[in-house]
Amino acid sequence: MHGKKETKMLENLGWMNSWKQDGKEYKLIKECREKGHSSLDTGDNYRCVSTSTCEECGYTYKIDSSG
Ligand SMILES: [Zn+2]
């Protein structure tokens, strides 16, 4: 620990569309919401694609809503 505030490495969970229904990713997000975090949605890099990130939990994932 250096006591320096640095950007945490975010775990890339990949595409939400490819997660299993009982996957750890859904659990992570559920816990995140229960903790009241506000995940950051940075959408529309591409058509129908948005990115959701919570720095407190240290994850990031993409959602393809084109389907
Ligand atoms: Zn969170």
CA–centroid distance, residue 8 to ligand 1 (Å): 13
Domain boundaries, the chain: 11-28+37-64
The token pair that represents 49 in the structure block: 């694609």
CA–centroid distance, residue 31 to ligand 1 (Å): 7
The Cα–Cα gap between 54 and 39 comes to 4
The Cα–Cα gap between 13 and 7 comes to 17
Interval 6-65: pLDDT, tens: 666 899 999 999 999 999 999 999 999 999 998 777 766 567 888 999 999 999 999 988
Whole-model pTM over 0.85: no
- Assess contact for 54 and 42: CB atoms under 8 A: no
